[in-house]
């Protein structure tokens, strides 16, 4: 028995082939666009040297600036951010200043009526020194924490991650 392909079958196969090719052409770029951030190396993956010496740190948080290169599509720019950094015994703690409510910048001792706390001026959010959000104020999560190290006496800031101090 011969295995002849009918004209109708040939047309079906051809249309399926062309259709699949066109669908792949549309779907693959969308998939790549969606997954790109997952595979992209973190611009801030390495420890970044700051201009602050370990000896300048005390038990009250101070602003420590750090710079890194950020790529937005074809445009590379130098970005300056800062962390609140303090000493806790022998440990050094670095906290993100970005409020976990809606992203405003928190200030250490920013409210006269709530000393020794981080204060967010946008909606009166408050955090303890270790970044723990104070119940009854808008933020529902602790301030993020940065990896921190000292190299040659200089404070270095690393990746940002969930706060491990606030319980």
Contact 164, 147 (CB under 8 A): no
- What residue is closest to ligand FES based on CB? 125
Asked if 131 is part of the footprint of ligand FES (rule: CB under 6 A), the reply reads no
Asked if 142 is part of the footprint of ligand FES (rule: CB under 6 A), the reply reads no
The residues that bridge with 81 in the sheet, in sequence order, are: 66
The residue within the footprint of ligand FES, chosen from 64, 83, 92, 120 (CB under 6 A), is 120
Minimum distance of ligand FES from residue 127's CB (angstroms): 9
Contacts within 8 Å (CB) and 24+ apart, 39-48: 42/159, 43/68, 43/69, 43/70, 43/71, 44/68, 44/158, 44/159, 44/160, 45/159, 46/158, 47/147, 47/149, 47/151, 47/156, 47/157, 47/158, 48/156, 48/157, 48/158
The residue within the footprint of ligand FES, chosen from 48, 49, 104, 166 (CB under 6 A), is 104
Q: Which is nearer to ligand FES, 131 or 139 (CB)?
A: 139
Asked if 97 is part of the footprint of ligand FES (rule: CB under 6 A), the reply reads no
Q: Which is nearer to ligand FES, 24 or 102 (CB)?
A: 102
Binding site for ligand FES (CB under 6 A): 99, 101-104, 120, 122-123, 125, 138-139
């Amino acid at each position: 028995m011969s295995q002849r392909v009918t004209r109708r079958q040939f047309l079906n196969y051809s249309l399926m082939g062309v259709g699949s090719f066109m669908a792949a052409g549309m779907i693959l770029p969308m998939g790549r666009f969606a997954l790109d951030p997952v595979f992209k190396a973190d611009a801030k993956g390495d420890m970044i040297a700051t201009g602050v010496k370990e000896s300048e740190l005390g038990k009250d948080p101070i602003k420590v600036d750090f710079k890194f290169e950020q790529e937005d599509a074809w445009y590379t720019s130098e970005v300056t951010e800062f962390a609140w950094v303090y000493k806790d015994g022998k440990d050094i703690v670095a906290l993100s200043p970005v409020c976990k409510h809606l992203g405003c910048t928190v200030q250490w001792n920013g409210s006269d009526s709530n000393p020794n706390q981080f204060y967010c001026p946008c909606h009166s959010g408050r955090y303890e020194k270790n970044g723990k959000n104070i119940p009854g104020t808008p933020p529902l999560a602790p301030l993020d924490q940065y990896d921190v190290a000292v190299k040659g006496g200089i404070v270095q800031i690393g990746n940002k991650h969930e706060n491990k101090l606030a319980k």
